[in-house]
Structure 1
């Protein structure tokens, strides 16, 4: 590890070149390798985008509709459209067949169409009573309701055309049957009821299908909301495991500093710890943050560890500029870096370098955290004998957030040390 240098030398170093402490791309004003500086000294700067830390996931869809007739709009549109189509078809037929007294008949057709629409609306109201019934029951109820509706409309239609001021053409048709008015009325109503029944049944089938599709859509929305809430709860549970684990380790170190009467160092660690928790506790556990902010948080943490290991900890960070705005789950690197310090630095006798690098490949962001220490993490990367957080927490958070598109690979290196490899889809805010 190289000699310590003054701040002025570091400031004039070209961007991209590694300084004496291994930083290749300085991000912001945080430092982990300058004992004279504290992260709390830069508190005024803060993070460039606190919204990235506090912004949560999209608000869940609202699927609650307190209206008594939530599908009224759909029903009215279908009724109006259905009867307008009927009106258009019978009018075209009258024109093609050149029915006599066209305009007088047209007025009566309009009246019959309006009455048919009203009767259909009452079918809709009656079917709303069975809105929570099964599809088979709804279909059965619709079939039953269409029978009186067809009889009522047939009687109304007969009254409009044959009873209320019948036209000459209607009178001629009446006379040709040679039946009494009562018998003719009954015969006409019964015969035409069958045709009107299928007309109402056609609309009822359409309405039942549309209402069922709407219920399925609402159910899917509810399921999506519940799934999202469950995922957020899981992410929060996993995320909230980190702070107590880290705080426990830091307080142990702080206790050692106090017992050894290194009060100034202990005070600086307390200030850094306060700054770290002020930044992390305000973060939404389900939020994603730019990789640049995540690196800042890890440098802030490593600034605390630098106080514990002033001569044994060196950090190299190599993140291309074009990846700094990619989004990652907040504090996803915290357990990884903490394990590198706990097992790589704390258990080694000599100087240890922790390297963090990132690259993009095939639409995925790859982040590697490597240390060349002598210690090796416990089984499966866990804190062997510790609280059981570690890399399992990272893996579960990535799976909860991205599914099988993300993961965590880790293991000892052949040339010594330990490497943790995270991969996830590339996403930019």
Structure 2
């Protein structure tokens, strides 16, 4: 788990802070409780005992830190493995601490109270036997203290690893979504560019240079705006409409007698945020199927309204019904592109509907949550 940690988490001792705080906390608590107990029972030689208890507690901190270092190689193992290894390692740690504790209180300049206790419990044993018995007896008590710290540390360390893993998974999910949005965003219909260049060639050959220059300037402005836009960003609906007007201005030069554009967006919705160029494939299809294939005048109408906290955008043309988008043999790549982008951005809260309009022509209806100042 430590091998793929984001944002500087990949360190040799990533949970060192948890270990140090828990170790110091455990031993400070032990020191405080034993000191209070000494005061309550009025244990003799209080200050000398407290000095030695301080030294023994420092030794306990050191031994517990060694236990932490011994647990680090299995940091990536399962929780059950960590618990089992910690239980085994706590026994030598407890014996080591019991030995230090015995030396501090019973070997190094024993106090009078300690000497009296030794005499009561000697039972005729040799000093070595007494030391071994005392160390083993106290080791079992100290084992539970080390086991308690180890359980706390393993639990906190595992919780930290889960949080890091969750952040990593969330980061990967965001990156995957952004990659998907970029892939969908750049699926721009190349026919638009080819048709525009062909129209430019025809205008130049017919010496309509002013019209050709205007078309070329619109094309340059449109591609500068679209290619520089962040495919994962949101823009205001007003900005999105302006981008579509740039595209439609180019197409109006191609179809001067056949294409009319109408926009009906309330002022209150102009600041609503939408995925950049979300309307582009829809408007392209309206021109490709509704205008280019029609022999009559066609109006492309973009409208928007708000209902129940959702933004509804409709792109309608009154041209021929596009078989490729609405018929059985159609692929609907452009519309699927838009639907996929909406789903990637808003999930089940957004979607799209399309089909022949009862009043004639074809309508694409997009809906998404109303987002402002995003």
Specify whether residues 152 and 291 from structure 1 end up closer, same or farther in structure 2 by C-alpha distance, changes over 3 A only: same
Q: Deviations over 1:29-54 (max 9, x none)?
A: xxxxxxxxxxxxxxxxxxxxxxxxxx
CA distance in 1, matches of 2:310, 2:120: 84
Match of residue 104 from structure 1: 48
In the aligned structure 1, how far is the partner of 2:195 from the partner of 2:147? 73
Count of residue pairs brought into register by the alignment = 367
Measure how far apart 1:337 and its partner are. 1.2
1:361 and 2:361 correspond: no
Q: Which residue of 2 aligns with 1:376?
A: 321
Q: 1:418 aligns with which of 338, 362, 366?
A: 362
Deviation of 1:92 after TM superposition, in Å, equals: 2.5
Q: Partner of 2:231 in structure 1?
A: 285
Q: What is the root-mean-square deviation of aligned Cα atoms in Å?
A: 2.2
- CA separation in 2, counterparts of 1:305 and 1:220? 48
Q: 1:131 to 1:365 in 2, by over 3 A?
A: same
**Equivalent in the alignment of 1:215:** 161
Matches of 2:353 and 2:198, distance apart in 1? 29
Match of 2:212 in 1: 266
Give structure 1 stretches of 5+ with no counterpart.
1-60
Q: Using the alignment, how far apart are the partners of 2:285 and 2:94 within structure 1?
A: 77
- Counterparts of 1:183-198 in structure 2 under 5 Å? 183-198=129-144
| Alignment match, 2:12 | 68
State the secondary structure of the residue aligned to 2:74: coil
Question: Any conservation in 1 of the 2:289–2:322 contact (CA below 8 Å)?
Answer: yes
Distance 1:66 1:160, change over 3 A: same
- 1:73 positional shift: 1.1
1:248 corresponds to which residue? 194
Residue of 152, 157, 170 corresponding to 1:224 = 170
Distance 2:40 2:346 in 1: 63
Contact 1:382 1:390 in 2 (8 A): no
- Cα distance between partner residues in 2 of 1:266 and 1:382: 36
Secondary structure in structure 1 of the residue aligned to 2:75: coil
- The alpha carbon displacement at 1:212 in A equals 1.6
- Indicate the residue corresponding to 1:296 in structure 2: 242
Pair 1:324-2:273 in alignment: no
Q: Deviations over 1:260-316 (max 9, x none)?
A: 554432332122111110111101111111111101101111111111222332222
1:382 deviation in Å? Answer: 8.6
Instruction: Give the drift of 1:242.
Output: 1.3
The whole-number CA distance in structure 2 between the counterparts of 1:421 and 1:351 is: 22
Report the structure, 1 or 2, having the larger helix content: 2
Question: Can you list the C-alpha shifts for 1:212-237, whole angstroms capped at 9, x where unaligned?
Answer: 22222222222222221111111111
Measured in 2, the distance between the counterparts of 1:390 and 1:377 equals: 12
Partner of 2:353: 409
Q: Are residue 346 (structure 1) and residue 316 (structure 2) matched?
A: no
SS at match of 2:51: helix
Deviations 1:177-198 (A, max 9, x none): 2343322221111100001111
**Shift in Å, 1:121:** 0.2
* Distance in structure 2 (CA, Å) of the matches to 1:224 and 1:154: 47
Is 1:396 aligned to 2:335, yes or no?
Answer: no
